[in-house]
Amino acid sequence: MREHLSVDREANAIQLRRETFSGVFLLVEGSSDKTLYERLVDNSECQLISYSNRKPSSKFCVIEIIKILDKNGFHGVIAIVDADFDHLGITPYSNPNLFRTDTHDLETMLLNSPALEKVIAEFGSEEKITRFGQDIRTVLLEVGTPIGYLRWVSQLDGLNLTFNGIKFSSFINELTLELDQIKLIQEVKNKSQAFALDSKNLQHRLISQQSSNDDPWQVCCGHDLVEILSIGLRKAIGSAKASDVESTCLERSLRLAYEETYFCKTHIYLSIRLWESNNQPFKVLRNEI
- 248 lies in the same domain as 118: yes
The answer to the question of residue 289 being in a domain is no
Chain segment 122-162, per-residue pLDDT in tens: 999 999 999 999 999 999 999 999 999 999 999 999 999 99
For residue 1, pLDDT over 70 is answered with no
Question: What is 188-245 written as a DSSP string?
Answer: HHHHHT-TTS-HHHHHHHHHHHHTT---HHHHS-HHHHHHHHHHHTTTTS----GGGS
pTM value > 0.85: yes
Q: Return the number of other C-beta atoms located less than 10 Å from residue 240's C-beta.
A: 20
- 93 lies in the same domain as 134: no
The answer to the question of residue 215 being in a domain is yes
- 93 lies in the same domain as 151: no
Residue 249 Cα distances to 2, 101, 241, 245, 246, angstroms: 35, 22, 12, 6, 5
Residue 205 domain boundaries:
108-259
